[in-house]
A and B are shown apart, each in its own frame.
Chain A
Amino acid sequence: MKRHPVWITGVGAASPLGCNVADIARNLLAGVSGIRKVDAFSVADHPAQIAGVVDAIPCPADFDPQFFDALDRSERAATWSAWSALQDAGLNRRNDLRIGLILGTAAEWNCLWENDYWQGGRRIFESNDQVGLVHRVKETLDLAGPCASLSAACASSNYALHLARRWLELGWVDVCLAGGCDLALSPLTLACFGNLRALSRRNDEPTKASRPFDLERDGFVMGDGCTIFALERAEHVRERGGKAYAEVAGFGAVSDAYHMVIPSPDPGPAIRAMNQALTDARIDPADVDYVNAHATGTSVGDSAEARVLAAVFGSHLEKMPVSSTKSMTGHLLTAAAAFEALACIVAMREGAVPPTINLDHPDPECPLCHVPNQAQQRRVKVAVSNSFGFGGSNTTLVLRAV
């Protein structure tokens, strides 16, 4: 199969840092935290009571607000983000194109059943249910291409971007929307992650709670979010005179095959995933300008990733900035990788690397070229984003400026 460069030509998002690219870029580079006490439901007996929260999701300009408000929250976030990405790319209402959709969404049905149950509904008891989120968004936006949802837990949306690239290369679609949508913040999920002892319990200081690479980190902070990109083959973009943000240049995925929750003590699989992605992109490690780390703020995960980065980048790691934007957003789970790809694009466009906030005392087990608390001016032509997930998934995405 011939490889064709695939470009990102549009972006849409609903995140704890805003619901448009300008706001998100500004907040990312200003080191703003989107984390606060959860007030959508009672968290009185939850061990962790804070999260990255999405405020009101805007209604697309050409939609009936009543129709939009009647959609469930995930559908509003995905519809807004997909519509915004198409609008940004100049492709809205292009029924003549086969526009596909691939979304990372892990707990779609669990959350649908739960939310319905709390509202007195009976969906969880009923044998027939509605079609999935991607099918509903496809219908709402009248997309003519195929659609699919997938989950590799917190690595999901890196897979979505990669598989969208494949669909484009296969000629299965003219344009592919791809990203992640995870509005899983609910009484059950917050309780489950809390009972796993994975979450920060710094409930009295929400904006200080997400502390990747910091000695005082005590777990991750959940976050809601959705980020969707429009992807096209480069020649398609050139033919229509469109703009591009970046090339989806490389992808790597290797599974730990070790444990459903705990990362493997062997850094080998994650190292191989990173090397696969760099090879796929035909990029030498020394040419990487920025790494958006997976770093969630857990003691085991952050230091393990630091060892992986050291093995892949060697001495280049001393001067190549590494940051974790989860310090500002919390962990967006299946939508995390897509948002972090957006953070990489912001770094490319703005010539500045977003910081890791709350990085007051860097853990000596994580000896990286940190970007503590304040953005740094840097020229970024090649950015790498790591996303690892439950089920032992290790994925790396390489983005190259166009």
Chain B
Amino acid sequence: MRAEASNPRVELAVTASVVGWGVVQVTAEQIPALRKAPGVWHEKIAPTALKQADEQTVVAVAAVLQAAQRGELVDFASWGILAAPLYFGRSVTLASLLAFEKEGAWGVSPHLIPHHSLHAISGTLSQLLHIHGPNLGVGNGPGATYEAFLLAGAMMSDLNLPGLWIVLTEHDAEPIPGQPMPGCLGVALALRLQGNGAESMQLRVCPGEEEHVEFLASLPEFSLTSFAQELERTDGDPAGMWRLGPRGWLEIESGESR
């Protein structure tokens, strides 16, 4: 479905070229190995680099490295990073609460805030991959992806930014004590914001308007799982359109079909 045909306010949409993407789905049992070796990078990544990182940070790094490899991206030092996890830091917050009850203030890990609050995924990616552009975390609750893409739209329109990483992560189910530890899904999109990228897959974001309600009703609601499946499809180029939040929408379409 092309946005222009269906949407009278497509001029509000922001478009960028997707020059790489990565999808990493791992079980809880696979995370320790991924933590030590998250992927291929032109520099050696020390096995301890992600020692303190949250599980969602680990899959985020792996997804970005996979996207960089797929897109043959070697220089993104000036790009921005926008990372949207879901319920980030829950298990470590719980561990800290239990430690506090047992040992008092001294039992609380000094890593809790640096590595397990919302800025941590983007900050870790910046540090690990030497990315000097703006880095920020978004959302962290239901609707995080809606928030992420709308803020991405704002950053995509930044004339000074050559590219942007959008990184979305979530557990398969929330990690609840007493239940089996769930796996984790990470999706990374590498967006080129400057230069010729018309041959690449396009990503389009729009916050929507009141008059879009009927149009939006025909779209599936965005879910990270279905988005990841579309990116991973083997029977053609990724393409699709999803409803974002109450009125927004997101579209990807292949470069050749444009």
Binding site for B on A (CB under 8 A): 1, 43, 45-47, 102, 105-110, 113-114, 117, 124-132, 134-135, 144-153, 156, 159, 163, 166-167, 169-173, 187-196, 253-261, 269, 272, 276, 280, 389-393, 395
25 example contacts (A-B, Cβ-Cβ < 8 A) are as follows A107-B113, A108-B140, A109-B87, A109-B89, A109-B93, A124-B97, A126-B174, A127-B176, A130-B141, A146-B146, A146-B207, A146-B245, A148-B139, A156-B136, A166-B155, A170-B12, A170-B154, A193-B113, A194-B105, A254-B133, A255-B132, A255-B135, A276-B160, A391-B123, A391-B135
Do B138 and A191 touch (CB < 8 A)? no
How far does the alpha carbon of A192 sit from the alpha carbon of B117 in the complex, in Å? 12
Q: Which residues of A contact B116 (CB under 8 A)?
A: 110
How far does the alpha carbon of A146 sit from the alpha carbon of B132 in the complex, in Å? 28
From B126, B132, B177, B248, give the contact of A391 (CB < 8 A): B126
Binding site for A on B (CB under 8 A): 12, 14, 77, 87-90, 93-94, 96-97, 100, 104-110, 112-120, 122-124, 126-127, 129-144, 146-148, 150-151, 153-155, 157-160, 173-174, 176-177, 207, 210, 245, 247-248
A-B pairs with CB below 8 Å: how many?
230
From A109, A149, A192, give the contact of B88 (CB < 8 A): A109
Do B110 and A195 touch (CB < 8 A)? yes
Known: A124-B90, A150-B151, A269-B132. A257 touches B127 (CB 8 A): yes
Q: Which residues of A contact B174 (CB under 8 A)?
A: 126-128
How far does the alpha carbon of A134 sit from the alpha carbon of B207 in the complex, in Å? 16
Closest residue of chain B to A262 (Cβ to Cβ) is B114
Do A131 and B142 touch (CB < 8 A)? yes
Do A260 and B104 touch (CB < 8 A)? no
Do B118 and A260 touch (CB < 8 A)? no
Do B105 and A151 touch (CB < 8 A)? no
Q: Which residues of B contact A391 (CB under 8 A)?
A: 114, 119-120, 122-124, 126-127, 135
Do A257 and B248 touch (CB < 8 A)? no
B205 CB, min distance to chain A CBs, angstroms: 10
From A106, A134, A135, give the contact of B118 (CB < 8 A): A106
Do A389 and B119 touch (CB < 8 A)? yes
A336 CB, min distance to chain B CBs, angstroms: 13
How far does the alpha carbon of A83 sit from the alpha carbon of B137 in the complex, in Å? 25
Known: A163-B151, A166-B158, A188-B97. A255 touches B126 (CB 8 A): yes
Q: A152-B134, A159-B136, A391-B135 are in contact. List 10 more A-B contacts (CB 8 A).
A: A105-B118, A148-B148, A150-B138, A163-B155, A192-B96, A192-B110, A196-B113, A260-B114, A391-B127, A393-B136
How far does the alpha carbon of A232 sit from the alpha carbon of B43 in the complex, in Å? 45
> Nearest 4 CB-CB pairs, A to B?
A391-B123, A132-B141, A151-B118, A166-B154
With a 10 A CB-CB cut-off, give which of A105, A150, A156, A393 has the most chain B CB atoms.
Answer: A150
How far does the alpha carbon of A173 sit from the alpha carbon of B206 in the complex, in Å? 12
How far does the alpha carbon of A193 sit from the alpha carbon of B94 in the complex, in Å? 17
Do A188 and B176 touch (CB < 8 A)? no
From A113, A190, A256, give the contact of B105 (CB < 8 A): A190
Known: A146-B245, A390-B123. A132 touches B139 (CB 8 A): yes
How far does the alpha carbon of A192 sit from the alpha carbon of B115 in the complex, in Å? 11
Do A152 and B137 touch (CB < 8 A)? yes
Do B138 and A149 touch (CB < 8 A)? yes
